[in-house]
Structure 1
Amino acid sequence: MTTARTGRTAQLQKPLDPDPKPRTRLGEGIRRRPLTWFFSLAFLLSWLAWTPYVLSENGLGVWHFTFPGGAAASQLLGVLPGAYLGPIASALLVTGVAEGRRGLRAWRDRMTKLRVSWRWYLAVALSVPAALTLATTALTDRAPVLPPAAVLVAYLPGLLLQMITTGLAEEPGWREFAMPRMQHRYGPLTATLVVGLLWGAWHLPLFLTEWGGGPDVDPVRTLEFMATTLAFSAVMTWVFNRSGESMPLVMLLHTSVNNFFSIAISDMFPSLSRETSSHAFLLASVTVALVLLVATRGRLGLPRAK
C-alpha cells in the first residue's frame, strides 16, 4: 500500500499472513475465516453478557433486579461488561489464534499509534462538537447557549473516561481488526457498509433497555440509529485511512460524539429532547459522509495500491 499524509509518512497496514504453526481443527477454521469468527464472537459474547441487563428491571423486567447507581451508573454496570467481552476480546482472541504473537504485536502497535500530527487531534476534537452544534441549531432553529464553566471543566475528563470505556471497548474490534481486513478484501466502500451495519446491529438488544429507550422498542428510532451508525462509519473510515490507521484518533472521533451528548448538549440547548439530539447526530453524520464520499469518489481516504 502507499502511504497517507498525516503530517508525517505513515504506512497503511494490511493483515498479516496467518501464523504458520500447526493448528487444531478449530484453529485452522479461525485462521481461514478470521472475519467470520470475529463478527460471530463479538455478537455472541456481548449479547450473552447483556442478557442480565436486558432481563432486569432496567429492561424487560423479567428478572426483578435493578442495576444500582441510577441511569448513568446502571448503564455502565449493565452495558460495559458486554462491550468489553465482545469486540475487543474477540479481536484479541482471533488475532492470537490466527496470527500469533506477531499479530498481537502489530495490533498493539496500531492501538498505540499516537504519533500523528497534532493538527489531527485538534481538528477532530473541535469539528465533532462544531458539527453537532450546527446540526442541532438547524433542527431547532435556536442559537446555542454558552455552557457554564463546570461543563468546560468536565469536558476533557469526560472525554478521557469515554476513551477508556466506549472507545477502548468498541474500536479495537470494529475499526482496528475488521476494517483493514475488509478493505483489503472488498475495498473501502463495501467494508464501510458491512462494518457499519454490523456495528449498528450489535447494539440492538440494548434497545430493549433504558439505554435505548426501552423496554418498548420504537422501530423508527431503531432504524434511525442504524442509519446513523452507517453514515458515521463512513466518516470514521476516512479518518482511519487518512491518519495512517491511527486508532487513538479514531477512538477520539467516536468518543467525542458520546462526550458532547453526555456533558455539553443539554446546557447548550436547554429543553432539547432525546429524539432531536438523535436527529442532529444523523443529520451531521449523513452530511459529512456524503461530502467525503463525493470528494474521495468512494475511496474514503484509502490510497490506491501502486
Structure 2
Amino acid sequence: MDFWRRVVDVRVLGVREWSLVAVVALLPSVVGRVVSGSDGRTIVPGAVLVLVAAVVAGILEEPGWRGYGLDAFNDRHGALVAAGIIGCVWALWHLPLFFLPGSYQAGLGLGSGGFWLFVFGLFALSFVYAAVYFVTGRSILAVVVLHAGSNAAGELVSAPGERTVESVVTLLMTLVAVIVLVRRVPG
C-alpha cells in the first residue's frame, strides 16, 4: 500500500518539493534557451502529443526505475551505487529508440557524438532523479512529474543547438545530486 501511496498522493509533497521538481525539470532547457538568445517564438508541431508522450513516459518508467529498482539497489549497495546501476540500465532501455525512424534518438545517429551525449546524459540524470526521489521522501509521483517535465521541456523549451549548454547544466545538477546522495541518503 505504501508503494501506491507514493505514486498518487500529492499531499505528501509541499511547495518546497514541488518547486524543486519544477526547477530541476526546467533548468537545463531554460538556461539553454537563455544562452542561445532565442526570442522564444519557436512553435513545436504536435505540442499536445509531446506533452502526452512525456507524461506517459514518466508514468511507465518511474514506478519501476525509482519506485522499485532504486529502493532495492539502495538497500544492497547504497544510494550512489544504486543510482549508477539504474542509470546504466535506463540508458540501455532507451537504446531501441535509436532504431525507430523519426524519433529524436534516431536523428542523433547510433554511435554519434549526439548518441554518446544522450546516453551519458541519461546516466547523469539518474543521479539527479535519485536525489529528488530521496529528498521528496521517496515520492514516486515527484519523479514521474520530474521525468514528464524534463521530457516536455526538452522538446518544447530547448533551443536548437544548445544541447551543449543543457549538458553542462545537467552535469552541474549531477554534481549537486551526488553530494546530496552521499550526505543525506542512508544506505
Range class of TM-score, shorter chain: 0.7 to 0.9
Given the superposition, is the C-alpha separation of residues 300 and 245 from structure 1 closer, same or farther in structure 2, using an over 3 Å criterion? farther
Of 243-252 and 205-214, deviating more is: 205-214
Given the superposition, is the C-alpha separation of residues 127 and 198 from structure 1 closer, same or farther in structure 2, using an over 3 Å criterion? closer
Shift of 1:180: 0.5
Counterpart residue number, 1:206? 97
Q: Check if 1:259 corresponds to 2:152.
A: yes
In the TM superposition, what whole-angstrom CA distance separates every residue of 1:84-129 from its partner, at most 9, and x where no partner exists? Answer: xxxxxxxxxxxxxxxxxxxxx3332221132210232133224432
Shift of 1:247: 1.1
TM-score (norm 1): 0.52
Shift of 1:196: 0.4
**Which one of the candidate residues 172, 177, 182 is aligned to 1:292?**
177
Given the superposition, is the C-alpha separation of residues 244 and 179 from structure 1 closer, same or farther in structure 2, using an over 3 Å criterion? same
Counterpart residue number, 1:168? 59
Residue 4 of structure 2 aligns with an amino acid whose one-letter code is R
Residue 122 of structure 2 aligns with an amino acid whose one-letter code is T
TM-score (norm 2): 0.82
Larger helix proportion, structure 1 or 2? Answer: 2
> Which consecutive unaligned segments of at least 5 residues does structure 2 have?
none
Shift of 1:133: 2.0
In the TM superposition, what whole-angstrom CA distance separates every residue of 1:233-265 from its partner, at most 9, and x where no partner exists? Answer: 111011100100111111111111111122233
Counterpart residue number, 1:143? 37
Residue 291 of structure 1 aligns with an amino acid whose one-letter code is V
For the aligned residue pairs, the C-alpha RMSD in angstroms reads 2.8
Number of equivalences: 182
Residue 181 of structure 1 aligns with an amino acid whose one-letter code is A
**TM alignment of 1:82-231, pairs within 5 A:** 105-115=1-11, 116-138=13-35, 142-147=36-41, 159=51, 162-163=54-55, 165-210=56-101, 211=103, 212-213=105-106, 217-231=110-124
CA distance in 1, matches of 2:63, 2:20: 22
Q: Please tell me whether Structure 1 or Structure 2 has the larger radius of gyration of its CA atoms.
A: 1
CA distance in 1, matches of 2:182, 2:108: 40
CA distance in 2, matches of 1:199, 1:234: 11
Q: For residue 144 of structure 1, give the secondary structure of its aligned residue in structure 2.
A: coil
Q: For residue 299 of structure 1, give the secondary structure of its aligned residue in structure 2.
A: helix
Given the superposition, is the C-alpha separation of residues 192 and 288 from structure 1 closer, same or farther in structure 2, using an over 3 Å criterion? same
Identity of aligned residues (%): 23
CA distance in 1, matches of 2:39, 2:116: 30
Contact persistence 2:58–2:148 (CA under 8 A): yes
Contact persistence 2:25–2:147 (CA under 8 A): no
In the TM superposition, what whole-angstrom CA distance separates every residue of 1:211-250 from its partner, at most 9, and x where no partner exists? Answer: 2225952343222222101111111011100100111111
Given the superposition, is the C-alpha separation of residues 218 and 300 from structure 1 closer, same or farther in structure 2, using an over 3 Å criterion? farther
Q: For residue 213 of structure 1, give the secondary structure of its aligned residue in structure 2.
A: helix
